[in-house]
Chain A
Amino acid sequence: MSALDRRDLLRLLLSSAAAGAGLGLTGRGAWAAGAGGGGFVPGTKKVLFLFLRGGNDGVNSVIPGHDADYTAALRPTTWIPPAARLDLGVGGAAFHPSLAKLKEVYDLGEVAVLHRVGYAQSTLSHFASQQYWETGVPFDDAFTEGIVARWVDRFGPAQVLPAISVADTMQLLFHGSTAIPHIPSLADYDLASDAATAKLMGSGASGLMGRFHDAGAGTFDDELRATGVLMADSLEQLASLPPQALPTSWYPVDDADLTAEGLPAADWARAFFANLRDAVRVLKQTDCRIAGIQLDGFDHHATQGGTTGAHADLLHAVAHGIRSARLDTLGLLWDDLAVVCLTEFGRTSAENGSQGTDHGKAAALFAAGGGVQGGVFNCDPVSWPSGATLFSDNGKYVAYRTDYRAVLAELFERHLGVPGGSLDEVLPAWSGLSGPEFQYLGWL
């Protein structure tokens, strides 16, 4: 396919689709294939990843209320007293009070709490552990292909936006041999739409898209080429999304709206809700299958806070955001959506000398969606024995009980439909892993 006629092909594709006669073009890689992108099709399963960076304190997010070791002596300033906890009805596990809005969704049976998730000999390095979670391959520092990128490459639909990362930083989860759009926000990803810009970005040989498409013959990186072409394509598609008017309380980005919702009027909160709004919008209005956002700031070595404070504010934002994503997609996408919160590790069970906690081992994850099997996994008196769990790893940390790859495998197989025998394509060497920690928890 020549670079010259992408727009012509696009027109043809669109008119053919309107007439009910597809051209039968399939397969990614052909530059022109799938350009333009379609809208939302009901029944298509989708995923929204929310990476909580810095290592969320799982013990204070989902409190093991039945564990006699969880005391004010253990956590002088960060302890959550029983009266403040939101009991989840499984014999002790309880939400942090700032997760009240998530509890509303939990009470509908649409939130799965996955506690004690990690991997063997997990690293205490943020950067290494985030990499391992995002690539699905622990301890291979040279391996930098993200799980979502691999899914797009092997199983993704042939379209401009099989997936999108809406975040300030490049998320490794979305990074790989197949370029995926990374955008800071929809508002900031928009070149002026004048004729000169159209010519400059243009699809013909004498436009940037043509230059990037032709690059790579020898000197230039494939990635540079793919990124340039994708940039032009995705700019075009995202510029044409239908406008939407939502209650400002769902995704508060102004100080007054944040304050009205009891959220801090902080830069991180504004950015988080703007990213969430944009990611949900792309999932709602296009054929995009996987979106990813992130929230940084969970590395509370000092002044973490207890029922209120820095950690409480972050949890509140997460809970508010998930509840809003549900309201925003209810009746449209919610039943086909899985919102999955990841984090690179939990934290030390005991508080440190700085009124904070240090890097730990097993994490607590949340997943929400109309199709999610609600409930609490790995935090009942059987899976979390009192007095034998908080210090079960190295005398400092909660030992993991479920490998994070089991959580992801369950998501890709049961939700996105990757055949069980092909999971190695997404999670390398998955089929060779065995043991109770690799059993599906059954949250989907």
Chain B
Amino acid sequence: MTTAKAVAARLLAVLVAAGAAGCGGGGGGGGGTVSGGSSSATAGHVLRKVTFGPTPALMARLEAQGPAPYLQEQLQPQLVSDASNARLNTVLGQLTIPQSEWDDPTFDHLVKYQLARATFSNRQLLERLTYFWETHFNTNWTKSRDYFLGDERVATWVEWRENELFRQHALGRFEDLLRASATSPAMVIFLDSNTNVAGHANENYARELMELHTLGVDNGYTEHDIEEVARCFTGWTVCRVPAGSQDDPHAPCGGDPATQRVAFHFDAALHDPGPKTIFAGTPYELYVPGRAGAAGLQDGFDLIAHLAMLPQTAEFVSEKLIVELLADQAPPALLAQCVATWQATGGDVGEVVRTIVFSPEFLDPAHRWNQIRSPIESLAGTVRALDGFAPTAFALSNMRSLLDDSLNQPPFRWLNPDGYPMESELQLGTSKLFGRVLFNQTVFRGGLADPQYDIRLLLLGHGVPLDDADAIVDFFFALFFQDNHTPADRAAALDFLLTDTAGNPAPLYPNGVDYPHRLRVFAAFVASYPQAFSK
């Protein structure tokens, strides 16, 4: 049994040793508690809306500079470096990041890759948008796996490639995103384009392309339009081609089985070469001329370019972006601004996002704490608030298992083409709330049980006296919900902190053997306040 004195000495030693890196970790000089006040409230609001959650370092930066420089920077992700992001790069270094299916990628690594980027990348807005497009253009890894007869490495590769394309274009042109999705083998398989052939059209992709990806449900298209759109995409399929030809949709299928690559492929023989008229009789009618042979591939691309710039698409997708970043009910004036931006910029998503985050509506108090954080935002938010003060692999594994189960937003395995629900009211439900509470319990009571993450180090690292209950409450309130609380919230926290499990008064003795456990339960409690799950 260690004596109290020895515990204190060991803690100090660890603290000093950790001092060089900073307990706040490599992410950027933790240090200092986040404080109240209006610049703090604004910083917290902005970070909850556009990132996977505030960190102490980002709070300090936005409190000092205001949100504008950070937002400008986030809109140009190429200027935001992850090169010295030790936490992210440590995780990525433990994963096999494939260049092809022959690198034997595993599904678990793909999920961890996505979760690590969301949780730790400095390009937070880019990652939020990447995840947004993942769900907007949802595909299901399981269907690819079944299509490839259980070959998980190929199913994982096509999903991974799609994820990287969404990341590449997340703040770029919508048409590029749409094209990346339409030609992704994962999508071709998921919505049955591969069985959509001349004379026997399969309408699955055609319908969801208009209903879910561009125009919105029943928003200016007819059943006949769906049939015509399906004809445009006949011959779009997937096959294995010789290595080196995987970016050529006209490359003949085949090649050495030991090196051939799965690729998007256009099979001219299965394409309907006749002319098509879509949206006939409307102001946005599109005539696609008859095209024979390889030229038939252009039918689909013509259609994608057309759909990307239709006003219904601009409105439908802008509205979803506003829901993602600001409010469940898009303010009409802001939506009109976004549509105007879309049309003026040729569907530049980054510019639409800029319109949203620099609008007067964005800082309107009415739009603060008005949404429920999505499951991944809630989980990543806890980890980010700790700024690395939790075992990373443990946190990511538990994020994955809870997203797969109680929270039911399994990365890359949502069954239906609609993607995860976005509205606040559908982010709730007892099991989803339960999953969030369980994650906090798991992180604090499991992850922080590791002596390396002795919770006293977290407090000392931020200058919080271990026996000062008021300071401890202030610290965690700032950490998990930027101090947005009522007097009753505070009284409850103090009461919780200063009583034992039977409810009897129990003073804080920092060297007491039960102190870390009590503090960890307390942190899990505060991290599960309703505010923590809101944004």
Contact = CB atoms under 8 A, between A and B. Distances in A.
Given A208-B437, A220-B369, A296-B416, A181 B202 contact: no
A195 interface: yes
Interface stretch (B54-62, B156-164, B382-390, B485-493): B485-493
Contact of A353 (B200, B406, B408, B501): B200
Contacts, number: 174
Contacts of B408: 168-170, 184
Q: Which 3 A-B pairs have the closest CB atoms?
A: A353-B200, A354-B195, A195-B501
Interface in B200-217: 200-204, 207, 211, 217
B202 A301 contact: yes
B531 A220 contact: yes
Contact of A182 (B200, B369, B429, B496): B429
Q: Which DSSP category, helix, strand, loop or mixed, fits chain A's interface?
A: loop
A281 interface: no
Given A224-B372, A224-B428, A302-B192, A200 B524 contact: yes
A231 B433 contact: yes
Interface string A206-246: 11101110110101110111011011001100000000000
Interface in B434-476: 434, 437-438, 441, 445
25 contacts: A123-B217, A123-B218, A124-B207, A127-B211, A144-B425, A168-B408, A175-B429, A182-B432, A183-B431, A184-B405, A189-B406, A191-B437, A200-B525, A201-B437, A206-B493, A206-B499, A214-B488, A221-B372, A224-B530, A224-B534, A231-B430, A234-B430, A352-B202, A353-B200, A354-B200
A125 B218 contact: yes
B192 A127 contact: no
A235 B434 contact: yes
B415 interface: yes
A169 B413 CA distance: 13
Given A184-B406, A191-B438, A170 B372 contact: no
B426 A170 contact: yes
Given A183-B431, A189-B431, 10 more contacts: A181-B430, A184-B408, A201-B437, A204-B495, A206-B492, A212-B530, A214-B486, A227-B428, A296-B416, A353-B195
B517 to A, nearest CB: 7
B199 A301 contact: no
A227 B217 contact: no
Given A141-B217, A198-B501, A200-B525, A302 B195 contact: yes
Interface in A160-180: 168-170, 175, 179
Nearest to B528: A208
A45 interface: no
A21 to B, nearest CB: 29
A394 interface: yes
A301 to B, nearest CB: 5
A217 to B, nearest CB: 7
Interface string A291-307: 00000110001100000
A123 B517 CA distance: 55
B217 A184 contact: no
Nearest to B205: A301
B433 A228 contact: yes
A199 interface: yes
Residue among B369, B421, B524, B533 having the largest count of chain A Cβ atoms under 10 Å: B533
Contact of B207 (A125, A141, A394): A125
Chain B, interface size category, equals 35 or more
Given A184-B406, A358-B203, A196 B369 contact: no
A114 B428 CA distance: 34
Contacts of B207: 124-125, 359
Given A301-B192, A358-B203, A199 B501 contact: yes
Contact of B495 (A124, A126, A198, A205): A205
B529 interface: yes
Contacts of B441: 191-192, 197, 200
B364 interface: no
Contacts of A208: 437, 525, 528-529
B287 to A, nearest CB: 25
Contacts of B531: 215, 219-220
B223 interface: yes
Nearest to B518: A196
Contacts of A207: 492, 496
Interface string A335-373: 000000000000000001110101100000000000000
B70 to A, nearest CB: 24
